[in-house]
Chains A and B, each alone.
Chain A
Amino acid sequence: MLFNSFEFIFLFVPITFFIYFFLLEKNLSIIAKSFLVLSSLFFYGWWNILYLPIIIVSILFNYIIGNRLNQESENLHFSRKLLLAIGIVLNISLLGYFKYTDFFIENFNLISENNIELLHLSLPLAISFFTFQQISYLIDSYRKETKEYSFLNYALFVTFFPQLIAGPIVHHKEMMPQFFKNENNLKNYKNISMGLFIFSIGLFKKVIIADMFSKWATQGFDMATTLNLLEAWVTSLSYTFQLYFDFSGYTDMAIGIALFFNIKLPINFNSPYKAINIQDFWKRWHITLSKFLKDYIYIPLGGNRQGSFRTYNNLMITFIIGGLWHGAGWTFVFWGFLHGMALIIHRMWSHLNFRLWSWLGWFITFNFINITWVFFRAENWEDATKVLKNMFNLNNIILPEQLSEKLAFLNNYNIEFGAYLENIDGSTKTIPMIIIILFMILLSKNSIQKLQKFQLNYRTVLFTVITFFIGIISLDKVSEFLYFNF
């Protein structure tokens, strides 16, 4: 069930909400929480019921290991370190089996000239999220930073449906206290209105803005065989905006739904495209993942405590793992490598006390992010190079026909006039939309800032109704699609 679906918005959420609070009103808090866990598992199983046992076994396994890790060493048959290692290895093995097996087979075949058949396993939904979430729980249990949570609270922490599919990656320290709080067992109308407010913004971001850009990005990356310079830039920028509005919109919806249940999820995006350097970007983009990578990979590797060379090394390892976490492919690895490199260069630069003007820092950072997303999005190297090469191909420039008279002198420089966005199915509104959205991103407050300043007045209610209504009525299309590959 997607957040942006009728079933979820009009049936699943209201039914779950009313039954949950009805049970709480009757002082049946354990049953209410159990109901919320079951509802979340139903939500998860809606996609593919076959994967339900995987998440259930994973929760049971990690809960047992976590509990054992909380015990003193003398009560255990083997060392806590070994137990932690077993826990982490099994979690990574599960993720590795489903996510990376084909990737390894492909590369093994390539190197050894073998022809082992790929398994074509379909990836259980959200496995990357719930695996990371539970690894952090195990490590913290080892560090004695977790209390002995009840199984019900632990299961709710992992499965709580608003964050289950695409994060934010929640930490037990943030979530567990909220599940214990008695005051959270009462309906909170302020939280509900705030939830509706941010959910509507998220829905609008996902359905209207992200989906608009996705059309041009998909055409440019997957369909077009060739691109002119403008098309290549529109393709990459469309994906840059699609990804942000899609992901942050989804997170906003998650934050909103969680608020209905009086749960505050952590911020995940803080205007990342306003970043003025790469370090700043990673403090603003997918914040909960960055925090996980920092706390559970970068710092355990030694962080910045063992000299510059080790710091750079640790940064690179962390970002390559981060790249692999996003997807099983060399393009993801390369994307992680580029970001690792950028962070190393930025660190060196800062150590030398060099400073850039903010606007120049922003310009370089934004373009770096935009260019590196090309590797993140492209299905293969050919698609990536197709887009990138043409972004800088000055011999393939086509401008709008309307400019042909005013800019006729450009003909001398091999610049043509005509159908300038034909290969990506663009229209006259494509470039203005990119410019408008870019300015909007740079000049306006983000949804979390808006939520922090939320007030109960007619303006916010009208704004929420309009964004929600437009989002809902645009959830589906009734016309036939063109050029659909089946």
Chain B
Amino acid sequence: MLSAKQWIKIFFILLLFAFSSLGLINYTIDPLWTFNHVNQFNQIQEGFNERQQKSNYVYFNKLNQFDGILLGSSRSTFINQYDFAPIKIYNYACNSMYPFEYKKYIDFAKKNSLSDFKYIIIGIDFYGSNIPNMKKIQFYLPEHYINNTLSFLYRYKMLILKDTLEKSLINIKKSLTNYRQHGFSRDNIKYNPKVSEAERVKRYLTNIKRHTDEMSNKNYIYNKNYINILKHIKEDNPHTKFIIFTSPITADLLVSIITKGNRFKEYEKWLKETISVFGEVHHFMNINIVTKNLQNYADDDHYYPYIGTLIAHKLIEKKDNNIPKDFGILLNKQNINNFLIEFHQKIKKYEL
């Protein structure tokens, strides 16, 4: 039998021990990126909730030393932000990012930077011209993540969660055994190791059908608001240089969407609207040496990080002999029509 005071003391001592142990593990690993320390146990981080993790990084570590940010979808997440050197870019791209999300994330990043950004780089995707199906989208609006980040004592509350511990244990395992396997480094570099040929073919066959379906028939409606979204972010950032590029998906997928999905007109409209707002676009989403070579991809649309390096170098005009000549065309009002005519011819000849 214990006295009531003893009972309470034991309760709080045991609880303190349990929470301290949990908090210490989660703090050491920091799977939610609310701190910035690096050690051998947390050098590889699983990107389980990129919007939340990157927003946390932006808020808790600030972007004062950065010249700009990179936004875009999963493809852009594979671009190493240090490949833009000497320009300092923070890669704020997240899985399945839609254009309607750009503004909120740009505003949030700006609030956590000392001054306006010199550059905003956006990797746009053709699927972004589709009206987003809110019921199927598997993430929240930007406000959700940002409010989480800003919520009272957020970084400390997250330290004592079972969910955080689960992610910490995954990160420990990855850091100790699978160095540089799928995941992020502590300095925001996303790795994507080469998959086996059998795995690649399996992913390719499954996804090319799904992605084509998603852009076909009733599943696709051109978003009339797309141009306004771009206009708003341009107007909101008058002192910033926008560098816009299209993500290079496999030529197979692109041709499949355009021919089977019958989307040439929308593809044309999407490019022309983007050019009308920004003046030019670095176009990689066409038929070129990189996109024709399926070995550059882990599936039908995700290129390996070394392709991301080529994109970064091309965007900042850094000399790189590895960049194929036909990889990346700077499209503007003057050359867009010629490009589309040539592209149309190429599609006709392309064998799927």
Contact = CB atoms under 8 A, between A and B. Distances in A.
A479 B48 contact: yes
B321 interface: no
B19 A478 contact: no
A460 B7 contact: yes
A189 B4 contact: yes
B8 A479 contact: no
A48 interface: no
A121 to B, nearest CB: 24
Interface stretch (A17-25, A95-103, A337-345, A467-475): A467-475
B1 A461 contact: no
Contact of A468 (B15, B49, B164): B15
Nearest to B152: A7
Contact of B8 (A193, A480, A481): A193
Contact of B164 (A464, A478, A482): A478
Interface string B268-300: 000000000000000000000000000000000
B153 interface: yes
B49 A485 contact: no
A19 B161 CA distance: 29
A435 interface: no
Nearest to B14: A465
B221 interface: no
A389 interface: no
A459 to B, nearest CB: 10
A35 to B, nearest CB: 22
Interface string A182-210: 00000011101100100000000000000
B146 to A, nearest CB: 14
A470 B162 CA distance: 8
Interface stretch (B135-143, B185-193, B206-214, B343-351): B135-143
A476 B32 contact: no
Interface in B126-167: 134-136, 138-141, 144, 152-153, 157-158, 160-165, 167
B160 A473 contact: yes
Contacts of B39: none
A478 B163 contact: yes
A461 B11 contact: yes
Contact of A196 (B11, B32, B158, B164): B11
A481 B1 contact: no
B10 interface: yes
A477 interface: yes
Given A192-B8, A464-B11, A473-B165, A483 B135 contact: yes
Contact of B162 (A456, A473, A481): A473
Contact of B2 (A6, A457, A473, A477): A457
Interface residues of A, number: 35
Interface string B160-198: 111111010000000000000000000000000000000
Contacts of B167: 478
Contact of B138 (A192, A470, A472, A483): A483
A470 B52 CA distance: 24
B105 to A, nearest CB: 16
B323 interface: no
Interface in A439-477: 455-458, 460-462, 464-465, 468-470, 472-477
Contacts of B243: none
B338 interface: no
Contacts of B265: none
Chain A CB count within 10 A is highest, among B6, B141, B153, B162, for B162
B158 A193 contact: no
Given A476-B161, A479-B163, A486 B7 contact: no
A455 B2 CA distance: 9
Contacts of A461: 2, 7, 10-11, 14
Interface in B1-31: 1-8, 10-11, 14-15, 18-19, 22, 31
A409 interface: no
A484 interface: yes
Given A461-B11, A465-B15, A486-B141, A456 B2 contact: yes
Contacts of A473: 22, 160-162, 165
Interface of B: 1-8, 10-11, 14-15, 18-19, 22, 31-32, 48-49, 51-52, 134-136, 138-141, 144, 152-153, 157-158, 160-165, 167
15 contacts: A6-B157, A196-B11, A457-B7, A469-B19, A473-B22, A473-B162, A478-B32, A478-B52, A478-B158, A478-B164, A479-B163, A480-B138, A483-B136, A483-B138, A484-B138
Interface of A: 6-7, 188-190, 192-193, 196, 455-458, 460-462, 464-465, 468-470, 472-486
Given A196-B11, A472-B160, 5 more contacts: A458-B2, A465-B14, A474-B161, A478-B163, A481-B138
Q: Across the A-B interface, give the 7 residue pairs with the lowest CB-CB distance, nearest first.
A: A189-B4, A473-B162, A190-B4, A478-B163, A465-B14, A456-B2, A456-B7
